[in-house]
């Protein structure tokens, strides 16, 4: 059972968390379904109380909202027979065969693999001090979320599954730039050269920071999806789609624990960043797709991923929290509505010169507040309440201008 933190800043890694048998599979905990269809604020599938969860409903996310049909009827228990059977199968079969983990200094090889597969795993992206600093920051944020949701039942991230959270999604500001542990990731000596090589130069920009975590007992698979932050190209001739263009968006995840077959490694399907094929529903996926995970991979590595690549979360059947903070970038030629003012001037001023340049489109004016900065909460209703309360404290003109920019 999840235990409530003694205080907001408890050391999460020493806590007993997860494996809460009281939370049924697939996010239906305290969610009216057929009994109260009017409560369904997500017309594409999963019913959830209004304001509780922000579930993505873009076309490529439609297969996320029904949950994982394979674990219907399971108990969220470490010793559940179905959980044990899945854990054994993952130990035997999980992981991309022949996964190549590239040294951070081999920029050419990392770039080649990235463009071929749509992602690349890079070893030792963080030094020990950076890794431990990031772990401490994630511990603090995670403790805050668990204080508000001690059962782990609210759910979050793509699909709104329980025992999972999105760091960006649970932040009232929608990003994590206010945390120095995250902002330090924007410009690293290990990843910046690879990004410059992928994008063809240093003129790319940063637009987001967040990532996600899976508590022990996250028994569900997420449905495959792309992290599309764009509107598909309008081409009446159907000759060009976003899949035909050079890489528009790159996300980098930093696993804070060694990724193993059983602790929820991210799954990525090589080559799908260029695929026009429809993404299969979870129930229709072949076994190899579920086992196409980036593991084993040491903590402190980087998973550099084309956002178009099909990917998803996998079950965390271990006893460890699996967290992967991230940073998100756009190509020099690409822009979308995802680009918004989300970094304070004070945060920006403390960055390296290169990181400052990368952040030029998201930094606020000096003295301007970032609404919701520093506040994380698992429930959307509470996040929106805080946001509106802070906007109400501004002048009407300033509030209107802020809404337009963000």
Would you give the end-to-end CA distance of the chain in angstroms?
38
**Residue 59 has what pLDDT?**
45
What's the CATH number where 25 sits? Answer: 2.60.120.620
Neighbours of 10 (CB within 10 A): 19
**Residue 51 has what pLDDT?**
39
Regions of the chain with pLDDT less than 50: 1-11, 14, 29-60
88: which 2 tokens? 């054994």
Let me know the angle formed at the C-alpha of 323 by 271 and 286, rounded to the nearest 5 degrees.
35
Residue 1 located in a structural domain: no
**Residue 207 has what pLDDT?**
96
Residue 199 located in a structural domain: yes
Cα(353)–Cα(268) distance, integer angstroms: 33
Residue 362 located in a structural domain: yes
**Residue 281 has what pLDDT?**
87
pTM recorded for the entire structure: 0.89
Domain span holding position 322: 12-236+245-405
Cα(394)–Cα(397) distance, integer angstroms: 8
Residue 6 located in a structural domain: no
Output the CA–CA distances (angstroms, integers) from residue 129 to 133, 181, 210, 219, 254, in the order listed: 6, 11, 20, 32, 14
Residue 265 located in a structural domain: yes
Instruction: Collapse the DSSP code of 338 into the 3-class scheme (helix H, G, I; strand E, B; otherwise coil) and give the result.
Output: coil
Residue 290 located in a structural domain: yes
Residue 4 located in a structural domain: no
351: which 2 tokens? 């960055």
Residue 2 located in a structural domain: no
**Residue 237 has what pLDDT?**
87
The total number of structural domains in the chain stands at 1
**Residue 43 has what pLDDT?**
31
Please name which of 357, 31, 402 lies closest in space to residue 187, comparing C-alpha atoms: 357
**Residue 6 has what pLDDT?**
37
Please name which of 393, 373, 392 lies closest in space to residue 383, comparing C-alpha atoms: 373
Q: Give the DSSP H or E segment for 403.
A: helix 396-405
């Amino acid at each position: 059972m999840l235990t409530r933190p003694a205080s907001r800043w408890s050391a999460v890694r020493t806590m007993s968390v997860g494996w809460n048998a009281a939370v049924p599979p697939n996010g239906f905990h305290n969610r009216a379904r057929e009994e109260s269809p009017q409560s369904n604020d997500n017309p594409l599938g999963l019913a959830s109380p209004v304001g509780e969860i922000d579930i993505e409903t873009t076309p490529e996310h439609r297969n996320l909202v029904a949950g994982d049909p394979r674990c219907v009827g399971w108990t969220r228990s470490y010793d559940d027979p179905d959980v044990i059977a899945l854990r054994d199968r993952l130990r035997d079969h999980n992981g991309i065969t022949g996964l190549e983990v590239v040294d951070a200094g081999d920029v050419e090889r990392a770039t080649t693999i990235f463009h071929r597969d749509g992602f690349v795993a890079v070893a030792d992206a963080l030094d020990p001090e950076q890794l431990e600093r990031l772990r401490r920051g994630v511990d603090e944020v995670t403790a805050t979320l668990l204080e508000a949701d001690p059962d782990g039942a609210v759910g979050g991230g793509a699909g709104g599954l329980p025992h999972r959270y999105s760091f960006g999604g649970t932040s009232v500001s929608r990003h994590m730039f206010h945390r120095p542990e995250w902002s330090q990731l924007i410009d690293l000596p290990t990843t910046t050269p690879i990004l410059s090589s992928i994008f063809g130069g240093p003129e790319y920009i940063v637009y987001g920071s967040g990532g996600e975590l899976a508590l022990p007992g996250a028994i569900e698979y997420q449905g495959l999806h792309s992290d599309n932050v764009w509107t598909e190209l309008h081409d009446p001739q159907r000759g060009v789609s976003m899949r035909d263009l050079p890489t528009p968006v790159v996300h980098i995840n930093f696993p804070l624990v060694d990724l193993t077959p059983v602790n929820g490694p991210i799954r990525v399907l090589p080559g799908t960043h260029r695929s026009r094929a429809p993404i299969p529903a979870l129930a229709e996926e072949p076994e190899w797709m579920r086992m196409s995970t980036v593991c084993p991979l040491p903590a402190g590595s980087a998973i550099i991923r084309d956002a178009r690549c099909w990917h998803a979360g996998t079950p965390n059947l271990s006893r460890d929290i699996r967290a992967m903070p991230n940073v998100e970038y756009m190509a020099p030629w690409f822009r979308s509505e995802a680009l918004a003012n989300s970094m304070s001037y004070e945060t920006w001023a403390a960055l390296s010169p290169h990181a400052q340049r990368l952040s030029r489109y998201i930094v606020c004016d000096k003295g301007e507040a970032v609404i919701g900065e520093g506040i994380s909460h698992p429930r959307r209703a509470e996040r929106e309440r805080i946001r509106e309360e802070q906007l109400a404290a501004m002048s009407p003109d300033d509030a209107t201008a802020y809404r337009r920019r963000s």
